[in-house]
A and B are shown apart, each in its own frame.
Chain A
Amino acid sequence: MKKILLLCFAFALQYGVWAQSSVTGTVTDDSGFPIPGVSILKLRSTVGTVTDLDGKYSINASTGDELQFTFIGFKPQVIPVGSSSEINVVLEEDLTNLNEVVVIGYGSATKRELTGATSQVKGEAIEAMNMPRVDQALQGKIAGVNISTNSGAPGGTSNIRIRGIGTFGDNDPLILVDGVIYDAAGLNALNPNDIESVNVLKDGTAGIYGVRAANGVILIETKKGSLGAKPRLDFNAYYGVQETARKLDLLNAREYAILKNEAFAAGGQALPFNNVNLGEGTNWQDAVFQEAPIQEYNLTMTGGTEKTSYSIGGSYFGQQGIVGGPKANFERYNARINFITEIAPRVKFTNVLLYTREESSGLAQGGIGSVLYNTINAYPTETIRVGDRFSYLDNVNDIINPLAQMENTYNNTFVNKFVGKEEIEYKINSNFTWTGRAGYNFAMVDTKVFNPLVWYGPGKFANSARNANLDPVLVDVGGLEIERGANVFEARNTFLDYNLETFLNYDSKFGEDHRVKGMFGLSLVGNRSEGLNGTGFNIPNNDLNFADISANQAPGGFLNNAGSFQSRQRLTSAFIRGEYDFKQRYFVSAILRRDGSTNFGPNNRIGYFPAISGAWLISDESFFNVKAIDFMKLRTSFGVSGNDQIGLFRYRGLLNGSATYVFNDLIVNGAAIGNTSNPDLKWETTFQTNIGLDFSLFQNIDFTANYFIKNTKDLLFQPDVSALLGSYGPGGSPPVINAGDVLNRGLELELGYGSNRKTGVNFRFDYNITFLKNEVTAVPEGFEFIPGAGFGVGGNVATRFQKGFPIGYFVGYQTDGIFQTAEEIASSSVSQPGAEPGDLRFVDQNGDGVINFGDDSDRTMIGSPIPNMIMGFNFNVDFKGFDLGANVYAALGQDIIRNYERQQPFANQLAYNIDRWTGPGTSNEVPRLTTGATRNTVFSDFYVEDGSFVRLRNVQLGYTIPSTISQKIGIQYFRFYLAANNLVTLTRYQGFDPDVGSGNPLFAGVDNGIYPQARTFMAGLNIKF
């Protein structure tokens, strides 16, 4: 009976038929602008309406009723209806964020109701950063989220790490854009201007996403229109110039000659330079770095009719590299259509569609053979060009002329991407809503790499020609000598991520005090990848214009080759959530998710992931009467989540090993086991406890604190296994097993302050800080550690995953100054084999009186790539149309390995070597130089630097023309601005860029000559019609 009644009420509401006198009015903000879309509810009734385009409304109410006006971003107001039939309302902007709606996965909640640790960043804050990618814009914006950069090259990617590093496998969070799965690299497709909000689920409540949630979940919503809003056209554009923020301090030709003479003399070799007065010589960095443009143009139309809202837009973004210019290029074309429409009463259809085309080109970066590595190690006594060719850098092995290298690089990628979602939401009645949706993310990635015949000088590994005349190498194919000319590699790979989801939401109030919400759903998530590639040899004339497989002239097709791959994975899930609150004061929420993944073995295919959370709104208690505190809430959560991203079919033994041998002088292919099987393989499990406190003061200060303990168990990884298993062959890999635990503990504080508008100066200030401690608490039985990155060329392992230490900590010899004299070496209580005056003095860790170079006994922790603390600071002030904003990011306490110095006799060196040891008392920091045998090049803390930095990531000064003036030319809003990104970086690190990330936590903080993030100066404008 009651239900039928409710239905009737709902019906009545739909058609607005209600016999009562009407109240009308206009709702404006405090500067007098009408606000469309404000919802107005007659309290203690189901009667409600919204304001129209001009902020006008009409509602049936009579004297004694109370009307509640609510709109996101404004404080709600309740106004009693008096004798007047006109009520005009001025809504006051809400500077706290309690009523902001946060997306939490298959539902949403206001900040007031939240029980989990969830952070939100608004689209405007992302837009203001003028960053090419949303992840770059998020750096320092959210407590507990650490974003590090893999490469500053255009199109380069970042690592998003929520609440520490839980595994040395895949640490990427689950990213859903409008409910559609994106991988972290795929964020390149997204225009940051299109984002409405970024919501980050950090704690156990992310467990609603079960076996994909262990690394946290990021829910991104793109901009949608609003019902009944006039069409509005937004145009945003900026143009900027980028430059390198730093060049390394390297030796000039004179310094180089002097130091090399000294090193050769010390090594007992003839002096290479008779004359050291060679002046400055070649500055390779000046030749390699350049200024490069960056630009973006973006047009969006949003609006809505009574039943349909829409947001349609297009954009172009283009960025060239500060190394390589157009050879390190990234361009993005975007077109999107979002619309939501009521296709039948109570049935809402949502369509999201994004088309992106990316065009990019890239240079070798991040290691030996990269352009910057070559630039650092190229010596200044060589000119860039010799006659009409590039110089050879004959004196160094494997280091090639970086300018020649850039000229010979042709590496292009084209991505065509369709991302979309179709969703139907059916409001069955006032309690039940059913949603069904299908999402897809389809990308077609085309790659073309032209490898011309090149000659970088005698003996260079990168040569593909036989000689300087670019004669092709001759190869013997079964007795037939054929030329191996220029080749072109082409690939077309397609990737489809899809999800099908259905869920039912329930929401009901029982009496005044009890509210129950429930949700039950099912989902199927999967992906399918396929690829086809080929290489065609003997491209005519060694010419880019013929760089296509179709043009190949390989005799008989020998040499040419083709390849393909395909993969698929699936995840089936069921999930349920129950929420209950009492008097909007006590909140409890419980989650259970059941996941089945194709990545796991038959013995462990299904996992269950529970979570529970609760909140207590202390400030609503009658005993709470602290005037200054408007709001105070205590939260706690505990949840279990998983990580299934370990590659496909790793539980199976596969015949994908490499088995090739030579019979009759020809290579023959056989078969061998590659992956070793483990049918017991299962997910990594994360147990997370969170305690949080939110409060707001004086109506304008928000404060949030979270403390978390995140325990990741059963890490999925491939440890070294015993040689006896025979998994060490070519293409072989050890079984993936579950072993090893990691503990992350941290404290996150977020502080927001917004000034009152009445002062005329509007002021907004946000600060967040995260303290994090990462520790490996268990490694698989049977061994001490898992080795990570190597140091130098053929050098020893410098990073490890080891119990009792942070993931990827640095292990090597600790130094204690420099041996000044032979007597000092002789009288030292510790004998150091091979030591000579001027050598680094290592510390005897195990106290046996000898520095042991043959084993690990004297190696110790000499650094960690994980910051102790990260901070973000945002500041905005506006006054009379002027606005000034700044964003600062700081990461403190992490270390970096300087791994871009090639230990070769003739390689150039950093200028710190000028202060080397040259005799007793000359230096206690920098060892002597020699080309002879020395232990100074073993990995020690001499090669580890403090990587802490504070960076002014964005500063922006804008001016908005008063709307009274701009409206005369039909423009609602006109702002122009000047901005700079990465203007200032404070750091003691001497490399290009202290923001050195790696997707693999065991390689984090190892700087192989990272492509630095550019310093950018921009001018831009924002126009709304």
Chain B
Amino acid sequence: MSLWIFTACDSLLDIDPEFTQDAENFFNTEEDFDRAIIGVYDMMQPAYLNIWIGEIASDNSIAGGESVNDTRGLHEIGSMTHGGVNEELRAVMRVNYTGIARANYIFENQDKLDFDGKELILAEARFLRAYFYFNLVKYFGDMPLIVDRRISINEIASTPRTPKAQVYAQIETDLRSAIAGLPPTVSVTGRLTSGAGKALLGKVLLYQGKYPEAATVLGELIDNNQGGYALFSDYSTLFYANNQNVAEDVFTIQFSGLQGGDYGCLICLNGNAAVGFHGIRLYNGPLYADGNSYNLPTQDLYDSFADGDIRRDATALNLDEFIAAQPNSEDITYAIGGGGHTGFFNNKYIKRLDERGLPDDDLTSPLNYRVIRWADVLLMAAEAFQRTGNDGRARTELNKVRSRVSMPAINSSGDALLQAILEERRFELSGEGYRFFDLVRTGQAASKISGFVTGKHEVFPIPQVEIDLAGGVWSQNPGY
């Protein structure tokens, strides 16, 4: 009797959440696959971390902000005092692994349904997984490699760090497969192309020192140019919202100003968080809008440009000079943040008056982030060709970039040419989040970054809490 009552009562407990799709009952339609891949794309949007850390860790900029405690992790990275407790580095790790988990979720279910276009979605997923893993190895070196399935909480403790070379092999495999599956051009702005895949593969090869292969991949991309890539004519307005998604865009993360956001979840934003954060504190004047004075370019960067190089002012805004040049300069006001002040602001990704998104517009910038643009492809190709003995081709690609900004052609060769190419990367690409990784990759970090310890700072420490959460079996990177 009582058993019967219990059984009857317990059946009342079998209820499901309403109007909610369950994770284990998905990928039943083509649309499900489409929606899942959007979730993977989504995880590229926390790109602000790359823009900040890639610059602040280098000789290009300081952390800035309201005080030295304002995003303290960046201040520590800026002074090369970062350790195992660093929220920003942890965010890098978590964001990229989330992207990987979302991609693997698709692969885990790839056999559930067949339809035309599935290969395209899988190619996108491979590309994105490669991008996330590339971020991880750049930052942390050896990282656990998880492929084609989600792992459960009970498996974490038995998941070791995978040697970097093995992760790179997976990245290359994924990218080559993605390149084969992706179209050279797309009708939907923002979807990935085979050109983007080749550019990223070229970069991945360059980071591994596989110069001949890099030269092949990048040379083919330039020669065939199926995507119709070209340098944008006016460098000084290249980073304006109006000039987004132009022929110079090869691999670009898309943002929108149409959705609000809050400081509680920067990774949730559909706007480019870096842009508002780079803005001038309490600024009240023309062209720009106010922000949080993050990621401030250094005098060293400003001074490194040759006279007459228009890229100097397009890269680092000399604020006082800019204000002085305005007709109503005495009415223009701004404030200095307690986190540091150099007089310069990131003039590429910066909040401008007419490029703001919905409130809070510190967080909702529609400015896209260019992960790889055509000038980068040309300079990477130049480097790869130079390092494989083809100085002529290297000069050709290098001088394409220089002639766009009316800088004289470089005629040197050998090591002088290599140095010129590497310097050109700073002039052309500063403020875009590459500098630190370029310095490390080319062995210049110790000589350029004060406080940089060779053998330690080439990679960032694995967040201590992540080591602990993984059961303490991972060893920390050397020196930390």
Contacts and interface: CB of A to CB of B under 8 A. Distances in A.
Interface in B38-90: 38-39, 41-45, 65-72, 76, 81-86, 90
A597 B258 contact: no
A781 B156 CA distance: 12
Most buried by B among A395, A477, A649, A667: A667
B359 A473 contact: yes
A460 to B, nearest CB: 9
Interface string A731-769: 110010100000000000000000000000000000000
A484 to B, nearest CB: 7
Given A665-B256, A854-B83, A596 B13 contact: yes
Given A476-B257, A656-B20, A856 B41 contact: no
Nearest to A658: B268
A783 interface: yes
A396 B282 CA distance: 7
Interface string B448-463: 0000000000000000
B17 A725 contact: no
A606 interface: yes
A670 B36 contact: yes
Contacts of A793: 66-67, 69-70
A654 B67 CA distance: 40
Contacts of A524: 9, 12
Interface string A576-616: 00000000000000000010111000000110000000000
Nearest to B82: A854
A477 B289 CA distance: 22
Contacts of B36: 659, 670-672
Nearest to B285: A458
A459 interface: yes
A461 B258 contact: no
Contacts of A598: 13, 15
Interface in B133-187: 144, 146, 150-151, 153, 156-157, 159
A123 to B, nearest CB: 36
**Which bucket holds chain B's interface residue count?**
35 or more
Nearest to A522: B5
A662 B369 CA distance: 12
Interface residues of A, number: 99
B97 A724 contact: yes
B407 interface: no
Most buried by B among A671, A727, A853: A671
A570 B290 contact: no
A661 B67 contact: no
Contacts of A655: 20-23, 26
B270 A722 contact: no
Interface stretch (B202-210, B383-391, B431-439, B465-473): B465-473
Contacts of B440: none
A470 to B, nearest CB: 14
A109 to B, nearest CB: 26
B171 to A, nearest CB: 17
A626 interface: no
Interface stretch (A83-91, A217-225, A817-825, A926-934): A926-934
A905 B333 CA distance: 15
Most buried by B among A783, A794, A933, A938: A794
A1016 interface: no
A903 B338 contact: yes
A322 to B, nearest CB: 29
Interface in A601-658: 605-606, 648-649, 652-658
Nearest to B6: A574
A394 interface: yes
B284 A394 contact: yes
A671 B21 contact: yes
A314 interface: no
Interface stretch (B98-106, B295-303, B320-328): B98-106
A662 B72 contact: no
Nearest to B151: A724
A794 B71 contact: yes
Contacts of B94: 723, 728
A572 B282 contact: no
Given A672-B102, A903-B69, A654 B17 contact: yes
A508 interface: no
A732 B317 CA distance: 38
Contact of B189 (A594, A664, A676): A664
B32 A726 contact: no
A729 B9 contact: no
Nearest to B74: A794
A729 B10 CA distance: 35
A308 interface: no
Contacts of A394: 282, 284, 333
Interface string A770-794: 0000000000011110000000111
B336 A792 contact: no
A743 B270 CA distance: 44
Contacts of B17: 567, 648-649, 652, 654
Most buried by A among B26, B268, B282: B282
B283 interface: yes
A783 B335 contact: no
B83 A729 contact: no
A653 B21 contact: no
Interface in A663-677: 663-673, 676-677
Given A397-B282, A661-B254, A668 B84 contact: no
A783 B470 CA distance: 9
Contacts of A464: 359
A315 B172 CA distance: 74
Q: Which 6 A-B pairs have the closest CB atoms?
A: A726-B101, A670-B38, A659-B39, A459-B290, A672-B39, A653-B23
8 contacts: A473-B356, A572-B9, A660-B259, A663-B188, A665-B256, A671-B32, A673-B102, A725-B150
Given A723-B466, A793-B67, A933-B338, 16 more contacts: A568-B18, A605-B13, A648-B17, A652-B23, A653-B22, A660-B38, A661-B44, A672-B102, A722-B466, A722-B470, A724-B144, A725-B97, A726-B100, A782-B470, A854-B85, A934-B338
Interface of B: 2, 5-6, 9-10, 12-13, 15, 17-24, 26, 32, 34-39, 41-45, 65-72, 76, 81-86, 90, 93-95, 97-102, 104-105, 144, 146, 150-151, 153, 156-157, 159, 188-191, 254-259, 265, 267-268, 270, 281-284, 289-290, 292, 333, 335-336, 338-340, 356-360, 362, 366, 464-466, 468-472
Interface of A: 267, 269, 394-397, 458-459, 461-464, 473, 475-477, 484, 522, 524, 566-568, 570, 572, 574, 594, 596-598, 605-606, 648-649, 652-673, 676-678, 720-732, 735, 737, 781-784, 792-796, 833, 852-856, 903-906, 931-935, 937-938
